[in-house]
Amino acid sequence: MEMNGTGSWTPSSWKTRPIVQSVTYNDAHSFETSLQKLNRLPPLVTPREIVKLKDELREVARGNAFLLQGGDCAELFDYCTQDMIEAKVKLLLQMSLVLIYGAKKKVVRVARMAGQYAKPRSSPMEVVNGVSMPSFRGDILNSYEADPALREPDPKRLVDAYFHSAATQNYLRAALASGLADLHAPLDWSLGHVRDPSVRDNYQVIVERITDTLEMMRTIGLDTGGGLETVDLFTSHEGLLLEYEQALTRQFKHPSNHHPPPEIPRPVSPVAQQPQKNHRKTSLPTQLPPPLPPTKGYYDTSAHMVWVGDRTRQLTHAHVEFFRGIANPIGVKVGPSMPPSDLVPLLDILNPDREVGKIVLITRYGCDKIAAHLPGHIRAVQNSRHQGTVVWQCDPMHGNGRNATVTMSPGGSTINGSPATAGSTTIKTRRFSDILSELRQALQIHRSHGSYLGGMHLELTGEAVTECVGGAEELTEQDLSLNYATFCDPRLNEKQALELAFLVAGFYRD
């Protein structure tokens, strides 16, 4: 067997490799029927859109833009509602405005959404309310309901996942095209009850500057002709369930039949550009460069970007084999268990042509481990032929999980998918201060190594959940019981996420 990314690739060549986190379906016939259905259904995203994201990520790799990626840890089919989609989109938009304003960078927005339905689990079994059952592995696989029978993998869920992705993607496109991200509409900038007056005052100053700038642009008409009405929002998820990803991978054969529509000159609003230091010199509307046409090849049309998880990135295993053949931008989670000596061979496999911006290294060490691991990883890339090709993104969530023992209030909260019962219990949380600390250290370490931290990858929700402690409202461990709603990892709520964007934007200004 060929190893390490040599040999011919097909959408199913991953099947010849060892695999972790794989799924066994009891009903082989129903599984085959689902895959055949997925094979016939139309792509969820197009090669042209995927290429557009690649173009933008190239700018991130070069240090000219910032990649903001965020969404739920485990997206549920139940989250496919107008309100929940809108809340997340507005939050990502607001965070990106703060980053554009504060960090003076263009922002590329990628949602963990419209397909983030498969979860790797550290243990195949878990105990819920005293009963042992298969772990919840995401809505694409099994039900979160605490019933051992419903926890068995159900092949019909593969097709349900497609349709929930499609409905989410459809509403995303329609809502953005209809002005959901229209900056003419007022946005809610409140941070809730901010306990620290200095945080509140600093925040207020920035909010006023942003709202004044938008107001001025509207008044003098700089926003006419496009730019303020809509934004691009790309989708992403962990490419864990390879049968699903394979079924949506399509060969793009005929670039010549897919000529781009004639380019309509579209002025770019100053807010979408890197703002000028010298405010007297207002930038003139410029024309967007025409998008590059997609090249021949295989595109995973389940999302614009897919990533390999920290548990599935073994060099000789199935996931890396699948990912090496697709033309999409690829994320790779990089944690403390990645030896620097594996990183360059992994890049050799996934990006042999060294396309700039193709690979996003999503580092997730934990605030007390980053200093020991990130420098070695940066140096390994710098000393290789991949120097300058990768996007470095910090995921300050996954290395900073911790347990809290709290008394849950029945009603608002769920644990492992079941309604909380009264009494004390252990739940997963993260500290806002740890998340911020990992981000700050990532930025400093990149700077001191002559490298560029190009983005952040967050688990967040537009809802007022209480899953992470800290932030301006100073949520405590006991507050977690108020509205603990995640079905997997704890997420930043909308106020914590917005505050984090302000603080990170501040790091770039310093």
Distance between CA atoms of 385 and 354, rounded to whole angstroms?
8
Cβ distance to ligand PEP smaller for residue 238 or 473: 238
**Interaction with Mn ion in 274-313: which residues (CB under 5 A)?**
none
How far are the Cα atoms of 25, 354, 368, 500 from residue 165, in angstroms, in the given order? 22, 31, 36, 28
Residue 120, Cβ neighbours under 10 Å: how many?
Answer: 16
Residue 59 engages ligand PEP in binding (rule: CB under 6 A): no
Which is closer to ligand PEP, CB of 58 or CB of 364? 364
Q: Identify the H or E element spanning 357.
A: none
Give the C-alpha separation, 110 to 405, whole Å: 34
For residue 67, what are the β-bridge partners? 108, 455
Window 203-242: contact mask with ligand PEP (x via CB under 6 A): -----------------------------------x----
The sign of the torsion formed by the CA atoms of 332, 170, 230, 113 equals: negative
Choose from ligand PEP, Mn ion, none: what does 467 bind? Cβ within 5-8 Å by kind.
none
Answer whether 488's CB lies under 8 Å from 415's CB: no
Among 49, 154, 245, 310, binds ligand PEP (CB under 6 A): 310
Q: Which tokens in the block code for residue 167? A: 């409905």
Which range binds Mn ion by CB under 5 A, 73-81, 84-92, 213-221, 318-326?
Answer: 73-81
120 binds, among ligand PEP, Mn ion, none (CB under 5 to 8 A by kind): ligand PEP
Q: Is the CB of 106 or the CB of 319 nearer to ligand PEP?
A: 319
Task: Tally Cβ neighbours within 10 Å of residue 74.
Answer: 23
Based on the shown chain and the rule CB under 5 A, indicate whether residue 73 belongs to the binding site for Mn ion.
yes
Give 458's strand partners.
70
| Residue 229 or 438 with smaller CB distance to Mn ion | 438
- Judged by beta carbon, residue 137 or residue 386, the one nearer Mn ion is 137
With CB under 6 A as the contact rule, the residue among 364, 440, 446, 491 that binds ligand PEP is 364
Closer of 134 and 309 to ligand PEP (Cβ): 309
CA–chain centroid gap for 410, Å, is 31
Q: Which does 310 bind (CB under 5 to 8 A by kind): ligand PEP, Mn ion, none?
A: ligand PEP
Contacts with ligand PEP, 268-307, as mask; x by CB under 6 A: ----------------------------------------
Tell me if 377 contacts ligand PEP by CB under 6 A: no
| 133 vs 127: CA distance, rounded Å | 6
Residue 73 or 93: the one with the smaller Cβ distance to Mn ion is: 73
CA distance 295 to 301: 14
398 near ligand PEP (CB under 6 A):
yes
- Hey, what are 429's tokens? 């949380």
User: From CA 66, how far away is CA 391, in angstroms rounded?
Assistant: 9
**Does 120 participate in binding ligand PEP (rule CB under 6 A)?**
yes
User: Can residue 333 be called a binding residue for ligand PEP (CB under 6 A)?
Assistant: yes
Q: Which is nearer to ligand PEP, 120 or 226 (CB)?
A: 120
Strands 249-252 and 297-300: antiparallel
What six digits make up the tokens of 335? 């944690």
Point out which residues bind ligand PEP (CB under 6 A).
73, 120, 238, 309-311, 333, 364, 398, 489
Chain contacts with Mn ion (rule: CB under 5 A): 73, 489
